[in-house]
Amino acid sequence: MAPRGIARVGAMLLAVASLVTMNACSPGKESGDSASSGSSSVSLDFWGWAPGYDKSVALWNKTHPNIKVNFSKVPSGSSGGYTKMQNAVTAGNAPCLAQVGNESLPTFVVTGALEDVSAYANASKDQFVEWTWKQSSFGDKVFGIPVDTGPTALFYRTDLFAKYKLSVPRTWKDFAAAAEKFHAADPANFLINAPVDSYDMAGYAWQAGGHWFGTANDRWQVTIDGPQTQKVAQYWQGLLDKKLLKTGAAPLDTAWFKEAQDGHIATVITAVWAAPLIEQNLPKLSGKWAVAPMPQWNAGEQAAGNNGGSTTAVLKGCKHPKEAAEFATWFSTNTDSLTNLIKNTGIYPAAKSGLGLPAVDKPSPYFGGRNIYKVFKTAAENTSPNWVWGPTMTQVEADFVDGMKNAAQGKGSISDVAKTVQTKTAAAMKSQGLSVG
């Protein structure tokens, strides 16, 4: 689709004009749209993939008979969901609402796939943690309502740590020592899987104080291969060279769950939303998992990264942006909706009110009666709010996946992957007419 016009990008992107090229997609009638704006009865379509979303939609529909929301489950964004959404916008038959990860929102903005709903959304701004609002807004334009963030921590098997006399690692040096000890006990054992994509690497770089994107002097800055990312890359390459990492099994996929069930993988470093996935897929391991802070580069620190977090975005062509923003705000702030999303989706709320709910401050029977949300609360409080996502994350993800797969097979290093992705990302952005420097 050909770019047309310029939208001013500010706040998160430092109010730099010319960074976002708006697309001339023609709006079309929303699927399921039953009334024009202002009518007493409105129907809104909503596409997403996260478990539990349908339950919050059902709660809304029980109490809002004049604004019906129809939730349809689509593949996750990286598995085709985003392509489906973008194609629908192009065809003029997109739903009003869509689950869009924070990392992908700039891409949707650049392609002109979103509606500015600031006129209807800004009144709710103060209900959200400041940096989460910036993830879904650009200057004075708001494209959706934040739902959650993804503070990261170390999930680990308490029974395996006891069996192999492993201490919970407080530093990355400790973690490497534990990986070596666990593997030495049985060559089928791997403490953790190798990083597989941009989201793994971004979370580690984020914790290390790195930044992949920014803006200065009306230009995008791309630092994917910056010193913090290279530090992370060299660390994981060191474990890979010693054959201490499980390869060929992405975290939380079918192969990973089997390895975990069999006791051959003892940890995963990921976000809070993984908790219900582990519980649902590994029911026989109830009571054997716990959560601890991420290992630190320097003893005594509490730095954490972030993996995930999303927005309920309003897609281009929505005939009812006011009602869409009303629902999206309710979805992220209503007590019943949040309680459901915390329990069934595993979110860490972006809404301030959600952070005080009982659902984020109670023991988990599956995790041995421990209150795992205390760990994620500390992680969230120690996650830098200044991370900026770039406008070509689909390309970044694809290039990282390819590169990390090769590195796992001994074809190049993780450091080389970061350098290659840096070069390809700058080229991809320039090809879209964006200034990079």
In this chain, the answer to whether the domains covering 3-150+309-360 and 152-306+387-431 adopt an identical fold is yes
- pTM reported for the whole predicted model: 0.89
pLDDT in tens, the chain (437 residues): 333 222 333 333 433 333 443 333 333 333 333 333 344 699 999 999 999 999 999 999 999 999 999 999 999 998 899 999 999 999 999 999 999 999 999 999 999 999 999 999 999 999 999 999 999 998 899 999 999 999 999 999 999 999 999 999 999 999 999 999 999 999 999 999 999 999 999 999 999 999 999 988 889 999 999 999 999 999 999 999 999 999 988 999 999 999 999 999 999 999 999 999 999 999 999 999 999 999 999 999 999 999 999 999 999 999 999 999 999 999 999 999 999 999 999 999 999 999 999 999 999 999 999 999 999 999 999 999 999 999 999 999 999 999 999 999 999 999 999 999 999 999 999 999 999 98
Contacts of 416 (CB under 8 A, 6+ apart): 403, 407
Question: 325 to each of 25, 75, 122, 129, 206, how far by Cα in Å?
Answer: 21, 23, 10, 18, 30
Q: Which of 38, 35, 1, 48 is nearest to 21 (CA)?
A: 1
How do the domains of the chain map onto residue ranges?
3-150+309-360, 152-306+387-431
- Superfamily the domain 152-306+387-431 falls into: Periplasmic binding protein-like II (3.40.190.10)
Contact 61, 327 (CB under 8 A): no
What is the CATH topology of the domain spanning 3-150+309-360?
D-Maltodextrin-Binding Protein; domain 2 (3.40.190)
Those residues with Cβ within 8 angstroms of residue 25's Cβ, 6 or more apart along the chain or in another chain: 1, 89, 90, 92, 112, 113, 316, 317
Provide the strand spans (E) within 49-151: 67-73, 97-101, 137-138, 141-142, 144-146, 148-149
Q: How high is the pLDDT of residue 35?
A: 38
